[in-house]
Structure 1
Amino acid sequence: MLKLFKLLGNKRLFILLMGLILFIAVMGFTLGPRLNLSWPEKFLKDTVGFVQSIFYKPTSYVAGLIEDVSNLRSLQEENEALKIALSHYTRDKARLNWIEQEYIELQELSHFTEAQKNQYNYTYKIAQVVSVNNDPINRTIKMNLGSNDGVKVGYAVMSIDGLVGTVSRVSNFTSTVKLLTTMDAKDPNSNGISATALGKENQVFGIVETFDHNKGMFLMNKIEDSSSLAIDDTIVSSGVGGAFPRGVVIGKVKDIQVGEYGMTYTAFIEPTASFSDLKSLIVVYTPEVLE
């Protein structure tokens, strides 16, 4: 019996010693410089990754479900807003179609001529600035559209920001544009612009006919009633007289004062268009070019 205990004790010692040697060998193997993982490490990582994926998928599903539930209210509100916007669009589209049809019928009943029907059917062409004349008295620019492109003297020229000037001379391939900054009511060769306020077309009327170089603003004169005009109103061309197209932005109201003789009012208009560093222009073709 004593021999048996000694034998078992020796075996345990032997197994413990072999385990310690194996442990040290594995540590030395794994801690050494190497590029690839050992198969035990690969097995361990794959096992841990598999277990993590088992727990991650349901956890992420539950988290996503909770997030979807929390977003359900906002989605419902957004859906309601879209429905309202769609109903407004449908209503406005039907209303505009009805107005258009009524307008056509009124034209027919009033025996409108083709010229009257096409009065405001403007077309537009893009032009590039080729040169600038910085004469302070008669500042002009030259663009690369001319008579071969259908351009005529008097056509309005604008930038993407607003009205810039009118065509004063035309050659075959180029045209000269006289800028609005040269406007002067005292000059008999200077044409005024019939103007109104955007959204108040039936309430406001005046003539933009002078540019004040000191203030850098247009003067809109002959306003009979200023009660409907307000600071920051957008001033646009009214199209009355036919010299300038209807609805082109000129600027914004910055001040309103009593006119020279106290009978009318004058509004100071800050231009929306820049008159320096112009590169691209838009020529407004009047309907007669289409005939």
Structure 2
Amino acid sequence: MGEIFRFMRNKRLFILMIGLILFIALMGFTLGRKRLTWPEKFINDAFGTAQGVLYQPVGAVADFFRDLGRLSDVYRENEQLRRTVAQYTQDQIRFNQLEAENKRLQEELDFTEQQKKMDDYRYLIAQVIGSTSNPYEKTITINLGTNDGIQPEMAVRTVDGLVGLVSKVKTFTSTVTLITDLDPNSSKGTPVSATFLGKPDSFGIIEYDDENGLLQMTKIDERDKPADGDKVITSGLGSLFPKGIMIGTVKSSQVGDFGLTFTAIIEPAAKFDHLREVFVIVVPQAGVDEP
């Protein structure tokens, strides 16, 4: 009996044993029953509510980190798409530039081959590397010089038409004076003598009209009255410019000095503000073999 009383004095052990007995009795009582008592329902509902309250923040935090992972994936995909679009845009620009360059050079090649069949001139293609901003001296600089066989007073043209005349030559570069700046009264014969295409006997002198920015063909004989749309080419007579080079198209005409001649307003064929490649015309000299 003394041992039992000493055992009972241990309250913690006693309470644990009572709880264990009640738990076993409760399990045995509820085992096999399908319906729960209201205390059991209360305990289950309370436990479920507490579990739900605890689960919602945990679930929200888990969803938050999961969304962050997805957002990071979307960001990387968007970065890749932007790089792909940028590269595509750059490739498209490069393709368009190459296509335009190829088309222009092909036209120039076709032009050269065509001219070889028409005359004996040689054409040295040059890049325009500079132009003057001086309104009183309209010149351009090309990347060919004496090392390339360039000499002063060689005519220069584009695929479209006549551009000007080589005025200064250095070792690796040359200066070209545009036909809009040539002196028609020069004693060196630099004025451009012209004729109408289809009228081989016609003749005129090309000058530049500063007021309207167009060319003029003056001293046209009254028998060769120009018509709008007539093509004007170099005549090759009394001039440094070879014959047959396109100059421009007649826009209008009027009676000239004393009513004995006509003056025609010419739209230049060459585009002087878009010069990138030009041809220096090499005319064979009598008694000199071309290389």
TM-score (norm 2): 0.55
Alignment-derived partner of residue 197 in structure 2: 198
Alignment-derived partner of residue 160 in structure 2: 161
Contact 1:140-1:178 within 8 A present in 2 as well: yes
For 2:216, give the aligned amino acid.
L
1:177 equivalent in alignment to 2:192: no
Distance in 2 (CA, whole Å) between partners of 1:283 and 1:154 is 10
Shift of 1:231: 0.9
Report Cα offsets for 1:114-164 as digits up to 9, x if no partner. xxxxxx621101000111112110011100111111111110101111001
Report Cα offsets for 1:215-241 as digits up to 9, x if no partner. 121111111125453110000001112
Alignment-derived partner of residue 124 in structure 1: 123
What are the ranges of 5 or more consecutive residues in structure 1 without an aligned counterpart? Answer: 1-119
Report Cα offsets for 1:34-69 as digits up to 9, x if no partner. xxxxxxxxxxxxxxxxxxxxxxxxxxxxxxxxxxxx
What are the ranges of 5 or more consecutive residues in structure 2 without an aligned counterpart? Answer: 1-118
Query: Matched residue pairs, number?
Result: 170
- Counting only pairs closer than 5 Å after superposition, residues 4-23 of structure 1 correspond to structure 2 as none
For 2:175, give the aligned amino acid.
T
Shift of 1:174: 0.7
Distance in 2 (CA, whole Å) between partners of 1:228 and 1:259 is 11
Distance in 1 (CA, whole Å) between partners of 2:181 and 2:174 is 17
Alignment-derived partner of residue 17 in structure 1: none
The RMSD of aligned alpha carbons is 1.9
Q: Secondary structure at the match of 1:261?
A: helix
Q: 1:259 to 1:198 in 2, by over 3 A?
A: same
1:232 equivalent in alignment to 2:221: no
Q: 1:246 to 1:273 in 2, by over 3 A?
A: same
The one of 267, 271, 274 equivalent to 2:268 is: 271
Contact 1:132-1:142 within 8 A present in 2 as well: yes
Distance in 2 (CA, whole Å) between partners of 1:126 and 1:281 is 6
For 2:173, give the aligned amino acid.
T
Shift of 1:242: 4.6
Shift of 1:185: 3.4
Structure of higher CA gyration radius: 2
Kindly, what percent of the aligned residue pairs are identical? 45
Report Cα offsets for 1:232-268 as digits up to 9, x if no partner. 0000001112510111000001111111333211111
Distance in 1 (CA, whole Å) between partners of 2:255 and 2:266 is 15
Alignment-derived partner of residue 141 in structure 1: 140
Distance in 1 (CA, whole Å) between partners of 2:191 and 2:131 is 23
For 2:122, give the aligned amino acid.
T
For 1:251, give the aligned amino acid.
G
Alignment-derived partner of residue 205 in structure 2: 207
Alignment-derived partner of residue 100 in structure 2: none
Q: 1:154 to 1:135 in 2, by over 3 A?
A: same
